[in-house]
Each structure stands twice: as C-alpha cells, then as structure tokens.
Amino acid sequence: MDKIYLNKLQFYGYHGVMPEENKLGQRFIVDLILELDLTKAGQSDDLNETVNYAEVYQIVKSIVEGKPSKLIEHLAEQLAAALLKSFSKIDFCTVKITKPDPPIPGCYESVAVEIRRGR
C-alpha cells in the first residue's frame, strides 16, 4: 500500500486530565500516515486522485484546537475517524499524537499515543 506522511504538525490545545492542562493548554504534535493507492495520482498528476494535504491539515487543526479531551487516546480516535470519513480514498490511517513536556514527574521529554485504523 502506498503512503502519504504528514510529519510533525504542531497545534496548541487544552487536552489533559489535570485542571491546569485544560486551563493553560500546551503544544501537541501530530504525525499521520495515510495509506491509499496513489497509482492514478502518480500517473495523472491530478490532485483529485489523491488526498489534499491542506484539507487534511485543516481537519486535524479543527479537532486538536477544538473541544478538549481528557485523553490523547480519545483525540487520536477522533482524528482517525474524521480522516476516514472525510477521505474515501484512505484505506488505513496511522495517527500519532505526542504531548511534549507532560506534567509527570521524571518525564523530561514527551509521551505519545499511536493508533492505526482502517475501513
């Protein structure tokens, strides 16, 4: 299966279990792998035969910067469902959400969740 990668999309959201996360917000980094057949797009050079990256970005932005979720697992599920619903050409999508600097003592870099969903 062919793949489109959208790497290190960065957003500011208010997701988390802790009250300060919901009040102050924080950065979230989203990586996507969209699996679909790119043969026609490669042969025709026609945007209609693939997935428009700008449209993908806008969907992800609206969800990550929208209504807060307690868990990034929930946020990842929302993203996968929205992308599969919005783009019929996508067979599978992998969504990775990284939460830099989580409020966990001793965690000095990040935590992340990655899911893969398909039709």
Give the model confidence (pLDDT) of 34-72 as tens digits: 999 999 999 999 999 999 999 999 999 999 999 999 999
**pLDDT tens string 99-118:** 998 878 888 789 999 999 99
Domain total for the chain? 1
Q: What CATH number has the domain bearing residue 104?
A: 3.30.1130.10
Q: Which domain holds residue 61?
A: 2-118
- In the prediction, which pLDDT does 81 show? 98
pLDDT at 79 over 90: yes
Q: What is the pLDDT of residue 92?
A: 98
Q: Which residue has the tokens 């599969």?
A: 84
- Active-site residue numbers? 99
pLDDT confidence of residue 109 = 87
